Chains A and B, each alone.
Chain A
Amino acid sequence: MMFVIFLSLLLLIILITGLIAVFLPRLFGSGILFSAFSFFVVLAYLLLSAPDVAFTEAVISVISIAYYVIAIRELRKGDLE
Chain B
Amino acid sequence: MAADVIMTARPVWAVLISTAAALLIMASGRKPNLREFWTLAAALLKIGIVYSMLPMILQGNILISNPLILSPGIELFFQVDAAGMLFAALASVLWFLTSIFSIGYMRSLHEAHQTGYYASFALCLTAAMGIAFAGNLLTFFVFFEMLTLATYPLVIHERTDEALRAGRQYLVYTLISGQLTLIGIILVYQIAGHGNFMPGGFMSGIAGTPALVGIFLLLMAGPAVKAGMMPFHGWLPSAMVAPTPVSALLHAVAVVKAGCFGVLRITGYVFSPQSLQAIGVAKPLAWLAGATIILASLIALTRPNLKQRLAYSTIGQLSYIILGAALGTTSALLGSFYHLFAHGIMKITLFFTAGAIYTKTHDLEIRKLSGLGRTMPLTFCAYTFCALGIAGMPLAVGFISKWNLLLGTVESGQGGFAVVLIISGLLACAYLLPVAYSAFRSEVVPEMEHIKGEPNLWTLVPLLATTVIALILGIFPDAAGHFYTLAQMAADNIMTGTY
Task: Find out whether A and B make contact in their complex, taking CB atoms under 8 A apart as touching.
Answer: no
